[in-house]
Each structure stands twice: as C-alpha cells, then as structure tokens.
Amino acid sequence: MAYLDLMSPLHKATQRDYLARVNDPDYPKAKAAELAKQWGYDYWDGDRRINYGGYKYISGRWAPVAKLMVEYYGLKPGSKILDVGCGKGFQIFELTQVLPGLEVRGIDISSYAIEHAHPNIKHLIDHGSAARLPYVDKYFDLVFSINTLHNLNNRDLENALREMERVAKMKYLCVESYRNELEKANLLYWQVTCSQFNSPEDWEWWFETTGYAGDYSYIYFE
C-alpha cells in the first residue's frame, strides 16, 4: 500500500468560491445536497451551483491520469480494469485511448449517468453499488475508485473497501480529506454528497480495519 497522488493536478485546476457556494440564495447547501443525492440530472448536468453543471467528455482531459495508471501499474493489452463509481465512464474510455486492448468495466449507482455515458463504453457499465460488487474474486488486474467512497455511509464504506480488496489484484482509490480546520471548513462548504469527513489518519484507520491493501491518495480543499 502506497500513497500515490494521481488527482491533484486535475483537482487544483478548478477555482472554487466556497462562501458563495454555501450561501447561494437559490440553491442553499441543504437544497443543493438534496438534489445532488438523487444522482440524476441535477447532479450531473444541472446548475453548477448544485454540482458539476454539465459533466461532458473533453478529449484528453483525463489522459494524464490514464497514462499514470498505465505506467505505474504496468498495464498491458488484455489487462482487466474496473472503475468503481465510474459515472459517465470518461476515465475508462480514456484508458482505452491511451492503451488500446485494455478490458475495461465500470459500475455506478446512477442510472442517469449510465444512460448518458460515453457511447463507446456505455455497454460496459453495470448499475450497482460499490458495497456489493458483482464480480468474482481477483478477477480484475486493477480496480480504482476516484472521488466516490467518501459518499458512502460507514456500513457501505466498510463493505466497499473489502469488496475492492476482494475483486482486485491491484487497487487505487482517491477520497476527500482535510489536514487542518481551514480545509475541513472548505470541504464542508463545497461538498454536496460527502458522508465521510475523515482526516488522513482516519482514512488510514479505515484501510487497516477493512484490510484494504491498495494504493490511495487524498484531495484537499485548500
């Protein structure tokens, strides 16, 4: 298990006005969260003050992460990859562009995301929960989960970490975290779906408790 930061460049490319988000007159935090947690149009393609504000495929945007995954994990044509919480599948599609011949699969809780997934890989996305992966033991060479597991309650988080360990030979996850009170406040202001507010030490407790032995990284709201 190693700390492997794949996501900071993408995360830091977005400018955030934390106070404007939490104080928005039309979509105050509670209303935005209620809409976002339906995992439908409002979450993916609705108003930016709710969440993504239109989550569309941008050619090459996810390529740097895909290239790092291929290089670090030694992926080859025929390697089996699973994205847990894949959304519209842009990351697994990008992996197939970086390394043709990969066998990719995704799973997501959102029917809307799957319906509006990238057309080239839509048929490779299963509808389901991270806490109950419908795959046999050690089937995948690499299973990754980016910005998903912090949305789970304690019981589902425990199951999801155990499930990732069960179905994968190699694992990587990225979750939200905080190192100080400022980052904790910013996370609280910005998030609309987060159920886990854990410091790095708390996340590492979860990994040890569940037997998750894969790689990991955190994103911070600085």
Q: Spell out the domain ranges in the chain.
A: 8-219
- What pTM value is reported for the model? 0.95
Picking from 135, 142, 148, 140, the residue whose alpha carbon sits closest to that of residue 215 is 142
Q: What is the pLDDT of residue 154?
A: 98
- Superfamily of 8-219 according to CATH: Vaccinia Virus protein VP39 (3.40.50.150)
- Summarize the confidence of residues 25-42 as an average pLDDT: 95
% the chain with pLDDT above 70: 100
The b/e string for 155-192 (b: 16+ C-beta within 10 A; e otherwise) is ebbbbbbbbbbebbebbbbbbbbbeeeebbebbebbbb
- Rounded to 10 degrees, the C-alpha dihedral 28/31/36/38 comes to 180
> Contact at 8 Å (CB) between 219 and 8?
yes
Query: What's the pLDDT tens digit per position in 86-135?
Result: 999 999 999 999 999 999 999 999 999 999 999 999 999 999 999 999 99
- Torsion angles phi and psi, residue 49, rounded to 5: -75, -10
Write out the DSSP string of 128-162: --TTS--S-TT-EEEEEEES-GGGS-HHHHHHHHH
